[in-house]
Every structure is written in structure tokens, then in C-alpha cells.
């Protein structure tokens, strides 16, 4: 179960990091800011930074737990 959650968090972090691509690049970042899908660009960037930080902490917590269970 912990491995499944870890995989989900990994994929979630990949998607969030793609959303944080620089503004001049075309891709998901351009789509998210031009379509106003996630709100204003500054609040969107702050929200994505917070979500990314929380996701990284959760990922490291799960990785440590899995490492301790395998030893």
C-alpha cells in the first residue's frame, strides 16, 4: 500500500514540476497561465511551490519508511 502511494506521489510531483516550467517555454506552463485555469500567475506559482514542497516532503517520508521496512 505504501509503495502504491509512493508511486502516486512520484507521478504527481512530475506533473507539478511540468506545470512550473518557465513562462517563456511553450507547454503546460503556457497553457496554465494563458487559459487562466489555475488563477492569476503569481498566486498559481505560489500555490504550485507550496504543493511541490509538501509533495517532496511526503515523498521523502514514504521513501524513508520503505527503506526501513526493507532492512
pLDDT of residue 61: 95
Quote the CA–CA distance of 57 and 12 in Å, as a whole number: 13
State the pLDDT at residue 64: 94
Examine the pLDDT at 16 and tell me if it is beyond 70: yes
Q: How confident is the model at residue 33 (pLDDT cuts 50, 70, 90)?
A: low
Assess whether pLDDT exceeds 70 at residue 29: no
**Mean residue pLDDT across the chain:** 79
Mean pLDDT across 26-39: 54
Which phi and psi angles does 25 have, rounded to 5°? Answer: -80, 145
At residue 43, does pLDDT exceed 60? yes
Long-range contacts of 10-17 (CB under 8 A, 24+ apart): 10/59, 12/55, 13/52, 13/55, 13/56, 13/59, 16/48, 16/51, 16/52, 16/55, 17/52
Amino acid at each position: 500500500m505504501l509503495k502504491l502511494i509512493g508511486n502516486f506521489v512520484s507521478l504527481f510531483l512530475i506533473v507539478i514540476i511540468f506545470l512550473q516550467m518557465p513562462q517563456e517555454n511553450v507547454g503546460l506552463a503556457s497553457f496554465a497561465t494563458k487559459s487562466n485555469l489555475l488563477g492569476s500567475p503569481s498566486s498559481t506559482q505560489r500555490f504550485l511551490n507550496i504543493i511541490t514542497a509538501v509533495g517532496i516532503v511526503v515523498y521523502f517520508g514514504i521513501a524513508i519508511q520503505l527503506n526501513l521496512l526493507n532492512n
